[in-house]
């Protein structure tokens, strides 16, 4: 039962990744593209945690935490670059 629910959630988050990819390609403004990248990071975190449940190991939480941190830093860096033309002043 858990396995079926896991596959359903995999399909949901994969479809969400595809939608984010479409918004990343189409998005009329760079704010849309940054938002799509941020949402992709969130979907990837969820996929990593779900894969950890499927495999039954706790090893993927460290990976999920690292992806969360790198995603936040990259989003802020991209916004800083658009806002100020420089990341670290």
Partner 1 sequence: MATVSEVLIAIFIVFGGVFGLVGSYGLLKLRETMQRLHGPTKATTLGIGCVLIASMLFFFLIKGNLSIHELLITLFLFLTAPITANFIAKTFIIRNLSKDTLPESRSDYGWSVYDDPPTLTEE
Interacting residues with partner 1 (CB under 8 A): 1-2, 4-6, 8-13, 15-17, 19-20, 22-23, 28-32, 34-36, 38-39, 42-43, 45-46, 49-50, 52-53, 56, 58, 61, 64-65, 68-69, 72, 75-76, 79-80, 82-83
Note whether 79 and 34 are within 8 A (CB): yes
CA distances from 22 to 18, 25, 34, 68 (A): 6, 5, 13, 22
Structure tokens at 57: 């190991």
Shortest Å distance, C-beta 1 to partner 1? 5
Q: Which is nearer to partner 1, 29 or 86 (CB)?
A: 29
């Amino acid at each position: 039962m858990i396995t079926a629910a896991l596959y359903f959630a995999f399909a949901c988050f994969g479809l969400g990744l595809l939608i984010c990819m479409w918004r990343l390609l189409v998005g009329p403004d760079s704010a849309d593209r940054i938002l799509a990248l941020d949402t992709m990071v969130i979907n990837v975190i969820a996929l990593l945690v779900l894969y950890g449940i499927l495999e039954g190991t706790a090893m993927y939480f460290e990976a999920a935490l690292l992806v969360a941190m790198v995603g936040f830093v990259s989003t802020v860096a991209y916004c800083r670059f658009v806002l100020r033309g420089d990341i670290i002043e």
